[in-house]
Amino acid sequence: MILGKSGRNKLLGLISLFVFCSALASSAAPKSDGGSEGHGAVTSESEINEYILHHIKDAHDFHLFSYNDAEGHRKHIGFPLPVIVYSSKGLRTFMSSEFHHDDSGHHVVESDGVSLVKYHEKIYELNEGAHAVEFDEAHHPTNAHTVLDLSITKSVFGFLLVSILMLIAFGRLAKQYKKQAVPTGFGRVLEPLILYVRDEIARPNIGEKHYRRFTGFLMTVFFFIWTSNLLGLTPLGFNITGQLAVTFTLALFTYIITQFSGTKDYWKHIFWMPGVPVPMKIILAPIELLGTLTKPFSLMIRLFANISAGHIVVMSLISIAIIMKSTLGAAGATLLSLALSFFLTLIELLVAFLQAYIFTMLSALFIGMAVEEHDHH
Amino acid sequence: MEQLLNDFSPGLFIMQSVLMLAVIFLMVKFAWKPIISALDEREEGIKNALEAAEKAKQEMESISSSNEKLFNQAREDRDAMLKEAREMKAKMIAEAAANAEAEAAKIIASAKEAIEVEKKEALAEIKAEVAQLSISVAEKLLKEELSDAKKDASFVNGLLGEVNLK
Amino acid sequence: MTIPNLVGAGLIVIGAGIGLGNIGGSAMEGIARQPEATNKIQTAMIIIAALLEGLAFGALFLGK
């Protein structure tokens, strides 16, 4: 640590600014799609709907905002992210800028003999001999199939960002403890949170004897969900915890940890419930077994639905400014949408914490149920 | 449900799982383990310090209580000694008084005895004297009778007047 | 979204609303009776509300 605290912060700021500027420079130039989509700004109700649904989904490039330049070309500001797909002919990597902001499947990217198109943020590989994607009535591509998409999408990028933030913040806190018993600066904010997770979530739900083994997982999950939720409220447009795959992963981790730390008693309570007659035992076994699956399923759906719903409602309220412009006038509509979305964002701040808390809390509860020793039987 | 499944991206799931594992590992290694152990250490330290303070307090209390005890003991001793001294004084005075009284009685008794003895001696002496006188009177009388019978009566009267001093 | 879907969603929301109302009301009553147990009651309330919420969301998304 040669640099002082402020010096380091300035350095970080400079690095991020540099990355940001270079990204802007690299993306601004080639990205004027020649009106292939045909529309510029989002104005009508159906367009807003589509825009919101598009935002909820994961994306292959980091899009900040768009505008029409003097010649009427649509300009997109943002930066591309790497696309990594596992196609029928092996791994293919390229930058997402190759798609030229096309999301309708019209722009075909040729990469080493593989033709790839992007349609509704999904990457399809065209079948042999096909040169353009064709759709059936339900808008499913007929002559293309999906590929395993391991791209650094916006959500993965966001996850990396959150991870780096967490590693820096908590790593610094850990380093501080080596020198002094009481942290200073930002560590003072983080320490009560750590104590909160440990003393209010892990310890009472798992029990004094076992909670230590699981604090690492619980804390990582808690801070990851919370930071991701908060990041989703910024105008950067992340929707990490609103991705089903992400919440599925989190719930899967809880499920695996719960099952693998289950004691003999836990399994006995599932397959041969003590204290009930034999026919009941036989009926209860499949119900209990299903119960082990519904618990993480509800964890997954809850987080996904809450965050998605929050994003949809906030964006809908923001779009009031566009929809009500004709009836309330530009200023009135903007004011109304600003006031409503301001208060909803406050609620979303609470929800961001609450969902992280509930996910961690219920995970701890399920783990606690699995490691509990029933000595009263 | 169909849309839900359609939105689910297996690629994102794989990426997320791999990254999540890595992040949990890194966070446990570089953040949670040192932080938790530091917190535990600190809590242990605080607990020990509190216990030590409690112990010191108890010790202080026991010391002050033993001081109090010693003080009380000393006061009791002093009181007992004073009481004893007072008693001794009273006893000594009483004894002395009794002694003096007995001595006085004894002196008086011996004085009385001496007086009695003197008196008896004096009486005996007087008796002897009287006897002597009587004899001598009788002698003289006998002699006178032989010489002057007339003078007899006056002589005896004179003698008797002499004897009447007793 | 078709009409049956919407009706189903409405039913789910009504059910969840009644459930949440009951949970919240009972929790308030409990807190009023035993203010010293506020923390425990709140935790239990949040957990049960979360379970109910998970159920409701699950049903909503299954019907979507």
Q: Per residue, what are the HEC states of chain C?
A: CCHHHHHHHHHHHHHHHHHHHHHHHHHHHHHHHCHHHHHHHHHHHHHHHHHHHHHHHHHHHHHC
Contacts B–C by Cβ distance under 8 A: 7
- Å between A330 CA and nearest CA of chain C: 32
Interface chains of chain A (3 or more CB pairs under 8 Å): B, C
Q: Which amino acid is at C9?
A: A
**ipTM score of complex:** 0.80
Instruction: Give the pLDDT band (50/70/90) at residue A21.
Output: very low
Interface contact A157, partner B, CB < 8 A: no
Q: Tokens for B158?
A: 């004179």
Nearest by Cα to A322 from A307, A309, A308, A337? A337
Contacts A–B by Cβ distance under 8 A: 117
* B window 41-60, beta carbon within 8 A of A: 41-42, 45
Q: How many CB atoms lie within 10 A of CB B82?
A: 10
- Do A103 and A245 belong to one domain? no
* A window 308-347, beta carbon within 8 A of B: none
Q: Are A133 and A115 within 8 A, CB to CB?
A: no
- State how far Cα B157 lies from the chain centre: 82
pLDDT at A375: 60
pLDDT at A36: 37
pLDDT tens digits for A192-226?
Answer: 999 999 998 898 888 888 888 899 999 999 999 99
Domain end marker among A124, A151, A178: A151
The answer to whether residue A339 sits within a structural domain is yes
Q: Are A75 and A28 within 8 A, CB to CB?
A: yes
Domain end marker among A121, A151, A181: A151
The beta-carbon contacts of A64-70 under 8 Å, at least 24 apart in sequence, are: A64/A236, A64/A237, A66/A40, A66/A41, A68/A40, A68/A41, A69/A32
With an 8 Å Cβ cutoff, are A305 and C55 in contact?
A: no
Q: Is A62 or A230 the better-scoring residue by pLDDT?
A: A230
Spell out which residues of chain B touch residue A151, defining contact as CB-CB under 8 Å.
11
With an 8 Å Cβ cutoff, are B35 and A174 in contact?
A: yes
Residue C14 has pLDDT above 60, yes or no: yes
Q: How far apart are CA A214 and CA A220, in angstroms?
A: 10
- Å between C12 CA and nearest CA of chain A: 15
Interface contact A224, partner B, CB < 8 A: yes
Q: How far apart are CA C16 and CA C12, in angstroms?
A: 6
pLDDT at A41: 67
- Å between A68 CA and nearest CA of chain B: 31
φ/ψ (deg, to 5) at A128 = -55, 130
Domain boundaries, chain C: 21-64
Spell out which residues of chain C touch residue B3, defining contact as CB-CB under 8 Å.
64
- Do A121 and A178 belong to one domain? no
Interface contact C53, partner A, CB < 8 A: yes
With an 8 Å Cβ cutoff, are C54 and A306 in contact?
A: no
The answer to whether residue A42 sits within a structural domain is yes
- State how far Cα A212 lies from the chain centre: 28
- Do A353 and A290 belong to one domain? yes
The answer to whether residue A299 sits within a structural domain is yes
pLDDT at A257: 93
Interface contact B17, partner A, CB < 8 A: yes
Residue A29 has pLDDT above 50, yes or no: no
Total structural domains within chain A: 2
- Do A285 and A334 belong to one domain? yes
The answer to whether residue A30 sits within a structural domain is no
Domain end marker among A151, A172, A190: A151
The secondary structure of B103-166 as a DSSP string is HHHHHHHHHHHHHHHHHHHHHHHHHHHHHHHHHHHHHHHHHHHHH-STTHHHHHHHHHHHHTT-
- Do A233 and A366 belong to one domain? yes
- Do A92 and A195 belong to one domain? no
Q: How far apart are CA C9 and CA B157, in angstroms?
A: 177
Spell out which residues of chain A touch residue B28, defining contact as CB-CB under 8 Å.
216, 220
Tell me the pLDDT of chain A averaged across its residues.
82
- Do A312 and A168 belong to one domain? yes
pLDDT tens digits for B36-63?
Answer: 888 888 889 999 999 999 999 999 999 9
Mean pLDDT of B106-127: 90
- Do A341 and A218 belong to one domain? yes
Contacts A–C by Cβ distance under 8 A: 33
- Å between C51 CA and nearest CA of chain B: 20
Q: Tokens for B64?
A: 């002050």
Spell out which residues of chain C touch residue B4, defining contact as CB-CB under 8 Å.
61, 64
pLDDT at A2: 43
- Do A214 and A324 belong to one domain? yes
Q: What is the pTM of this model?
A: 0.74
- Do A193 and A320 belong to one domain? yes
Interface contact A217, partner B, CB < 8 A: yes
- Do A270 and A350 belong to one domain? yes
The answer to whether residue A377 sits within a structural domain is no
Q: How far apart are CA A10 and CA A18, in angstroms?
A: 12
- Å between C33 CA and nearest CA of chain A: 23
- Domain span at residue A185? 155-371
- Do A197 and A337 belong to one domain? yes
Among the partner residues B12, B38, B41, nearest to A246 by beta-carbon distance: B12
- Å between B3 CA and nearest CA of chain C: 7
